[in-house]
Amino acid sequence: MAKLPAVLLAACAALLALAAPLLAGDPDMLQDLCVADYKSLEGRKCDAKVTSNDFFSDVLSLPGNTGNPVGSAVTAAKVEKLPGLNTQGVSMSRVDYAPWGVNPPHTHPRATEIIFVLDGCLDVAFVTTASKLFARTVCKGEVFVFPRGLVHYQKNNGGAPAAAISAFNSQLPGTQSLAVSLFGASPPVPTDVLARAFQIDGGMVEAIRSKFPPMN
């Protein structure tokens, strides 16, 4: 086989080195534990005084309040609520659904998600960057995967409450809800941008925006 020129090999190596961090999840840990010290820089320092309670939370023990326009509630056990998760690269949330409730389309920029249905049946789906929808019904005891960064949603397809647990391969997956980000941003995304993007008129943009009070 012909040898590759050294310059080509060097270019390939440089490309691979650049790509590696893009493929990575949370950085690998350098010690057994590093309980987040929230008195320091956003918990980026390890707390010197660690107890078993730093690794414990009962935040997922009770259903969230689904009495809201979408009919769902996400309760997260992520590093801000569970300091022992710091540097461990995992987290979890509980999702409760009112009858026919929806967890609206959103993405997690930093994690893949696997959802385990505790009660009921959910219509779940994600959309790829090529706009292909992968959808199916997932019932009690079953799991479904939402690949990292892809838009996904769940809908309770029954007349009784449903619940699920989601696990993430990040201590802080981040959640970006499409409707809230676009219509509840502060300062607002300009009306003409949204009107063009959705091919609707400005009045309709304002009508939708009125349902999403600015988040901050």
Closest residue by Cα to residue 72 from 99, 106, 101: 101
Helical (H) or strand (E) element with 209: helix 202-209
Beta carbons within 10 angstroms of residue 37's beta carbon: 18
The CA–CA distances, whole Å, from 32 to 51, 83, 85, 87, 97 equal: 14, 14, 11, 9, 37
Distances (CA, A) of 179 to 66, 105, 173: 18, 8, 18
Count of residues interacting with Mn ion (CB under 5 A)? 1
With beta carbons less than 8 A apart as the criterion, state whether 133 and 108 touch: no
CA distance linking residue 86 with residue 169, whole number of Å: 12
Question: Which of residues 26 and 113 has its CB atom nearest to ligand GLV in the complex?
Answer: 113
Task: DSSP letter for 70, please.
Answer: T
Residue 170 makes contact with ligand GLV by CB under 6 A: no
For ligand GLV, the binding residue among 64, 113, 122, 156 (CB under 6 A) is 113
- Whose Cβ is closer to ligand GLV: residue 66's or residue 93's? 93
Residues 69-128 that bind Mn ion (CB under 5 A): 113
Number of neighbours of residue 126 by Cβ within 10 angstroms = 20
Please, what is the minimum distance in Å from the beta carbon of residue 103 to ligand GLV? 5
- Per-residue contact track with ligand GLV, 86 to 105, x per CB under 6 A? -------x-x-------x--
CB-nearer residue toward Mn ion: 113 or 119? 113
User: Among residues 92 and 194, whose Cβ is nearest to Mn ion?
Assistant: 92
Residue type, 147: P
Q: Minimum distance from CB of 95 to ligand GLV (Å)? A: 5
* Contacts (Cβ under 8 Å, ≥6 apart) of 197: none
- From residue 124 to residue 153, what is the string marking binding to ligand GLV with x (rule CB under 6 A)? ----------------------------x-
Binding mask 42-81 for ligand GLV (x = CB under 6 A): --------------------------------x-------
Cβ proximity to ligand GLV: between 34 and 115 the closer is: 115
List contacts with ligand GLV (CB under 6 A): 74, 93, 95, 103, 113, 152, 154, 166, 175
